[in-house]
Structure 1
Amino acid sequence: MRLERFFLIVVVFSVCTTVFAGNKNKVFLCGFAASFNDSTVFFTDIQEVDSAVIDKNHFLFGRDNYSYQLRDYLTSQGFEHATCVTLWATARDVIEKKYQKLRNKYAVIAQKRTRRKKTAPLTVKYLTTEQFRYEAIVPEGNTVSATKQSAVKTKKTGK
């Protein structure tokens, strides 16, 4: 009887650890893009992605590729050489605090630049979810989704 219980506990534990190793969770993402060649910065809306994967180390799987999605969108819109950052959190209030802190920082920078006569004013643009939407990046066995593969291919070719 004890051996059966022990065996059952071991099986349940091993199943739980494999199931929780890469959970599909609801995460909240927002993006920021700037270029050193231009005085325009972009902010995306806070977006909810349902099938994002958080690995066992509590990192968002493919987090760099979410930034590549934003960069590729901006490149298609004519905003070349953007440096993109994607912020994420599992709770909406946490991401709202990060988003507001970043927006406030660039609002202060914009005010300082408008006071100076020799520098170009900083233009802040906002991308709505109708304009740009993040797509979930999900691992598929040993490979990853097509979105990540195209982002990696773009990164390798340098285009």
Structure 2
Amino acid sequence: MVMKSLKTISILMLLLVVTSAFTLRKDDYKPVYVMGVSLCFGDSVVYFTDIQQIDSVRLTKEGFLPSREGYSEQLKAYLEAKDGNINHTCITYFSEKKAALQKTVTKLMKRYRNGSTVIQQIAPSDFKFVRPEE
């Protein structure tokens, strides 16, 4: 009788361990695609970066890119060093899917091409986003 109870408890414990191992949250770090746009309201130039992949990013519970302002600050610092203008307004767009981000880029390009703005593409060899420390 004691042996049968011990065997049953052992099987239940084993099942508990196995099922909890499968329900553990998997590492949800994944690649995210980012791109930046910079506007300077006193200038007619709009800067666009290429879409870049940032590895090992964990989005917030709300689905936002953590330290998003850090990416915008990187672009702003690069442009300030390049042209000396401190009035750049930088925006970072991101998505887990490159195609979705490309669609956003296409819409933005279309919006700014219709006006009197000059679009400047920033080469990936000149500027690359680096994941800020979280």
Q: For this structure pair, what is the TM-score category when the shorter chain's length is used for normalisation?
A: 0.7 to 0.9
Alignment pair present for 1:91 and 2:97: yes
- 2: CA distance, partners of 1:92 / 1:136: 17
1:73-124 Cα offsets, whole Å, 9 max, x none, are 11111232110011111111111000000000000123xxxxxxxxxxx222
Shift of 1:57: 2.8
CA contact under 8 A between 1:51 and 1:138: conserved in structure 2?
no
**What SS class does the counterpart of residue 49 from structure 1 fall into?**
strand
Out of 27, 32, 48, the position equivalent to 1:27 is 32
Q: Which residues of structure 2 form unaligned runs of 5+? A: 1-10
Out of 4, 12, 19, the position equivalent to 1:2 is 12
Alignment pair present for 1:60 and 2:49: no
Match of 1:144 in 2: none
Match of 1:105 in 2: 111
- 1: CA distance, partners of 2:99 / 2:15: 42
Alignment identity in percent?
26
Alignment pair present for 1:40 and 2:45: yes
TM-score normalised by L of structure 1: 0.69
Shift of 1:6: 2.9
Larger radius of gyration: 2
CA contact under 8 A between 1:43 and 1:127: conserved in structure 2?
yes
- 1: CA distance, partners of 2:16 / 2:32: 36
Shift of 1:11: 5.3
**What SS class does the counterpart of residue 101 from structure 2 fall into?**
helix
TM-score normalised by L of structure 2: 0.80
Q: How many residues align?
A: 123
Match of 1:117 in 2: none
Larger RCO (CA under 8 A, 6+ residues apart): 2
Kindly report the root-mean-square deviation, in angstroms, between the aligned alpha carbons of the 2 structures: 1.8
Match of 1:130 in 2: 125
